[in-house]
Amino acid sequence: MASIPNPSIHLSKSPKPTFTSLQRAPPLTICTLKSPNSDQKLVIHGGSKLSGHVEISGSKNSALAVLAGTLCCSGASKLHNVPDISDVRTMVSILRTLGARVEMCGGEVVVESDGVRSVEPCCDELRKMRAGFFVLGPLIARFGEAVVALPGGCDIGSRPVDLFVNGLRALGAVVELRQRKVEAVTANGKGLVGGRFHLDYPSVGATETLMMAASLADGVTVLSNVAKEPEVVDLARFLNNSGASVEGAGSGTLVINGRKRLLVPEFIVIPDRIEAGTLMVAASITGSCFSMSPVVPSHLSSVIDKLSAAGCKFKHTSFGNLEIAAIPSMLGGNFQGFDVTTGPFPTFPTDLQPQMMALLTICKGSSIVKESVFEGRMNHVRELQKLGARIKVCGSTALVYGKQKGRSLRGSHVVASDLRTGASLVLAGLAAEGITEIDGLSHIDRGYENLEFKLQSLGADIRRRSITSS
């Protein structure tokens, strides 16, 4: 890799801008280096009631896509409300190995990608998560070539990349898969050209990758059947702030007018709806009442609808501040079970399915959970069963038998094999009788910023311990 020019990048000491749609400043986090988590476990003494207030971090999936998007921009992009999670650190490492200069501290990240000289990100980093693959779009658009290894990410299904490949071909790239790497070049070394592409499925990652690529293509691109997730809308907002022309974000069709270059934006990442949803389930499963902010309720309407129907009460106490009261005694016992089918936004998010299943194990009556996004997202079932849950799985559908008279979840030793399985087990542990020990924290740390501290601050008895110390 060629040497990197050295424009100094400084994190400004000026006050952070407000998150426009919420009119409040994002939380300030302290710059910390976490200790390795492979030899750690979470120990939860279940049964505590939760109360108080909790801050929601910036969205993992939005921050990761926007970090990839900084490769489209000249100059220094300044991002706020970026969560301090291991996936973000992996993405920062990917950008650095490409030649970008990145500084991160306290939720602020500054990326300056003018010095990027490599078009092949580090395979080891790519294997740690899914979003690293999204750099394929900016790299091919900006440099006319890219070599990107197939990504990792949660082991929840086959997760092919055909839509990325075919979409880039529709923009004029020649794309081949060789030795588990996607190799893309543009014809005659020229850039991408605008084109039309219909996604067979509204894939979030493919939509984001193609949106970034098309923003630097020559001419107009029309992408149909695209993902409508809030994180896709956030990436479009980032690109438009940088001078791109992306129209239609949040609808099923994107019209993108390519630009020669995009310039240094300053940007605030949206709050993490999956973290907020996880904490809503924490309130429900412990029969508690607490508030959280910032939350964008429209990002969570399918979740709020389900929990409301089960008996939870939601109140907006101030702008961006949401209170959840989940006190089953008001309903004469436990919450009523309900069915869940996951799907693309605005349908119920797959990233909250395992957490919701934990709640359903203590609800009244049986519930059916259909996982329609990822064919293999049932890893949590076996671990929930170890805690005493009664669940039967057939393919991607689970029948969850609710709480039986006199039987509740009971603490045990369980393992998080993916991110949301980990969250589901934490929630089940909060409700279980006795002690739950959870291994596999590296998965939880990929996507939750300080989850145990946030739960502790609400009154949960949850501690991170070294495995060797027990």
Ligand X SMILES: CC(=O)N[C@H]1[C@@H](OP(=O)(O)OP(=O)(O)OC[C@H]2O[C@@H](n3ccc(=O)[nH]c3=O)[C@H](O)[C@@H]2O)O[C@H](CO)[C@@H](O)[C@@H]1O
Q: Is 321 exposed, middle or buried (0-12, 13-18, 19+ CB in 10 A)?
A: middle
204 binds, among ligand PEP, ligand X, none (CB under 5 to 8 A by kind): ligand X
163 binds, among ligand X, ligand PEP, none (CB under 5 to 8 A by kind): ligand X
Closer of 403 and 420 to ligand PEP (Cβ): 420
Among 193, 212, 285, 419, binds ligand PEP (CB under 6 A): 419
284 binds ligand X (CB under 6 A): no
Interacting residues with ligand PEP between 338 and 367 (CB under 6 A): 351
Among 447, 452, 460, 462, binds ligand PEP (CB under 6 A): 447
Closer of 229 and 449 to ligand X (Cβ): 229
Stretch that binds ligand PEP, among 8-16, 128-136, 176-184, 233-241 (CB under 6 A): 128-136
Closer of 312 and 427 to ligand X (Cβ): 427
Among 63, 98, 129, 139, binds ligand PEP (CB under 6 A): 129
161 binds, among ligand X, ligand PEP, none (CB under 5 to 8 A by kind): ligand X
131 binds ligand PEP (CB under 6 A): yes
**Catalytic residue list contains 105:** no
128 binds ligand PEP (CB under 6 A): no
Describe the crossing of helices 419-431 and 273-286 by its angle, rounded to 10 degrees: 20
Distance CA 146, CA 98 (A): 11
Q: Which two tokens stand for residue 51?
A: 């109360």
Stretch that binds ligand PEP, among 124-132, 289-297, 317-325, 378-386 (CB under 6 A): 124-132
CB 161 within 8 A of CB 153: no
Distance CA 110, CA 75 (A): 10
What are the residues whose beta carbons fall under 8 Å from the beta carbon of 445, sequence distance 6 or more? 34, 37, 85, 86
Q: What is the DSSP-derived secondary structure letter of residue 440? A: -
Stretch that binds ligand X, among 16-24, 29-37, 161-169, 357-365 (CB under 6 A): 161-169
Backbone angles phi, psi at 44, to 5 degrees: -120, 130
Distance CA 249, CA 234 (A): 9
Q: Cβ–Cβ contacts within 10 Å for residue 192, how many?
A: 28
**Residues β-bridged to residue 76:** 112
The DSSP-derived string for 284-323 is HHHT-EEEEES--GGGGHHHHHHHHHHT-EEEEEETTEEE
Of 72, 73, 154, 289, catalytic: 154
64 binds ligand X (CB under 6 A): yes
Closer of 143 and 374 to ligand X (Cβ): 374
What are the residues whose beta carbons fall under 8 Å from the beta carbon of 259, sequence distance 6 or more? 215, 216, 243, 244, 245
73 binds ligand PEP (CB under 6 A): no
- In the bound state, the residue with its beta carbon closest to ligand X is 205
Catalytic residues: 154
Residues that bind ligand PEP (CB under 6 A): 129-131, 153-154, 351, 419-420, 447
Sites of contact with ligand X (CB under 6 A): 61, 64, 130-131, 157-164, 201, 203-206, 227, 229, 350-351, 373-374
